[in-house]
Structure 1
């Protein structure tokens, strides 16, 4: 009996344990299902568009009525379907870069519905439910986003035009080796168009060796250090070309390196010419006849090439050079021959060249640098200079060979690109006429302050200013004088605020806005009084004004503590209403919500 008792007891214990595990799993499953049902019920009641998305399966698991309305989503009873499958792909593509952070905050999603378009502001969280990664998405309609995205598209088109006008090869990519963009020269070199390359990787075009070299230099650049290197490259037509790469780090607004910018120049011809000269110099040693032939060849090359080429012996005497080389020093080639460095260069230049020449003769290694040369006629030229050692086996003469290249056009191209990028950045946030913040900058700052002040329970104030009788000013003084008046009002308004956190912006036309963080109603009134005082003291003539003989402004003042469920547009609405009151009470004054009288 003892032999049969223990297996039976063990089996009973195993059955009891399995039953207990089954109960635990059932409870956990029920809790998870209850959590999902509760989240769906909350989404159903939310005023925002909300949905649950399985991006891997490309399947909408749930969407509330508001989301269905915003994106034209239909519900068959068992599933939700987009009116256009492209919209689903767009949403998945927007969320994909944020997979690691598992969070999306305030990105724009532009949807096309035939001839109509809508822009949504997207917030999302990624959660794991029952082993599946699900996106919980909140969508808000953003009426201002449509014009914002249109302006961004115009700026991108301008930037693309600038890039495509540059003959050098330019591309830029992110840290994951994905191409973010390129110019027509680089795309055309591969037989494609720029938009056909965006999103692809360099491994689609480069050999393993070329890709390995590129990645080695990129690692330095991603660490924040620009670099320059020259490599042979296999062209699609099987030609071997020599490219000089200038690689720079791409940085975001937080000064973080996010990618790589590569500007490449085809220096194959220059290299071939240099190699040809070296080969001819070696052949010159074979015989006197060959020496004479080579001398004629070099002389021909010197006289025909536009790039400066010359020689200086180890004692510092000029022993040869073409006309462009002599012109760098303000001489003809015949006049320069035999002169010493001390006769040609300034004390500062002489010291620099002597140090360089000594280093080259001692180490036997060439030196490369860029130099700005001012000619006698006032012109300035940028030269890329390569200085290397030479040795004549026949005469025993040693010295320095200068191989230079006029890179003025390339420098101008680089400056043009830098200016274009700076101009785009300035246009994004600064009003070009008044040099104060523009409407876009104001909207972004207001949205940001609204969220922080709502979280911290602080007062947020806004002043809306409108120039009185500005149409009459433009009609009688002219639009050019009207632009000058706008600039003066912008300066006087900026002078009226004291804190660096306060924002003065051109709201539109002759309207300006002052955004005052953490400011009470009384503080906002003081700023309004400062504006009126500065305008009065400026005494800008306006004999056609209904408010007086000088330019004046009317001001609407509003102060609120942002509340949950209230849009920041409420603050603008209140300030605009007070501005309307100030206009109808005689102009040249301010009105404030809650005040029976105004200043």
Structure 2
């Protein structure tokens, strides 16, 4: 009896315990079911649109009448279905970024139906329901949200119009090399339209080498530092063009770098000009307060670039611009917004800008010019200004966009180049030893005077001068002293002519020439006598001359009225012949056609 007692008691106790547990489970299940029924009953009666979505099954497991009305849901007996299955996919995609936080508050959802568009404001929480993750969603119809989204769409169109009015190449991309947008100039360069490029990557357009170089600079910009670099690129038509790329970081409202803005200028022609000047001169050449309706992307682009950008409407009011743009007028962007041109510009500047703006709005074409601006601190800056039209075909608003770039450094370089060219031109026409005109300058001047004197029918005179016994001077005094003698003779000859139109030139070796415009034979003889007198008074020693103890010159004088069919070489031939006569008649004198040789001793006072 005792042997069977304990097993029987143990079995009875186990059965009793299991019965109690079963009762507890049934009670809890009944309570849970009652709670779910109560919850769904409350959702049915709620005036708000409410639904429950099974995250794993991606199905609507409950929807109250209000949400069925708003979103056109229908119950198929097991669960609720959207009229358009794409709406469920859109909603799940909208919820996806918020899974980690398990809640969303005040998120707009734009739902398109065949006859209308609704904007819903969503509040939701992600909780466990019957062992599964379920989104409990409250939705409220938000007409104001639709207006907001519609305004964003208008601003995006305005932004596209603004970008497409800029002739420079502009594109912006995210940190993953995905293009976010570009202007018509950049898209057209690749033979496409801006809308066809969004979402693509730079690797779809650049060669491997170009892409590697671009990524090197992008890494610097993504670290928060803007940069500027110049690179050769291959155009789709196989042309090689040189682009000056200004690359800036794109930042969000938290000042975090999220992408890259690239503004490129085609400087191929400028480069070719530099190359040409370098070839000629070798080593001498050193070579928007934010818009009221603009979205976050426009503000990011405008505030990221150091170049002044701004907008003026067709009535002359400043409607936006960045800080560099406002600084040009002595304001901050907040102070400049809403001001009229008459409040900012002088009368002279106002008239010029109003004339330009009317022309741009009438012609619909941008203009480009350079302007010197004086800042309040006394500094002056050269700006390259591009003014173009913008037009919003949705709102009908139109106006002028200002795009300016600081080109002070470029202007300084251009001035240096111009100075160097002028210096080169001057040096190319001057004899380096005597500092009078060289043979090239003489030939060009003679041809020019010959043509003008032939046209006007007036006399032109030429004096050819040769230093007497100059070979003996060089042989005995040395070439350095000979060079000094040439310099002294050049100064004496130059001192003998008074008019700015007269030209003294080194004709070659120890020979010099004097061109006398509008001068007859008598006037030319007076100049010859003056030269002989100045040479005699200078008394430059020459012990080895067979003429005198001082350096002397012989002069040939020729005067003529140029005639049609006669070459200017005839004047040179006659003067050279007279110089030959002066040499053979004893030197230190001048000869002219029809005269006997006249010695310097006879012409001296």
Normalising by structure 2, we get a TM-score of 0.38
Normalising by structure 1, we get a TM-score of 0.38
Which structure has the bigger radius of gyration?
A: 2
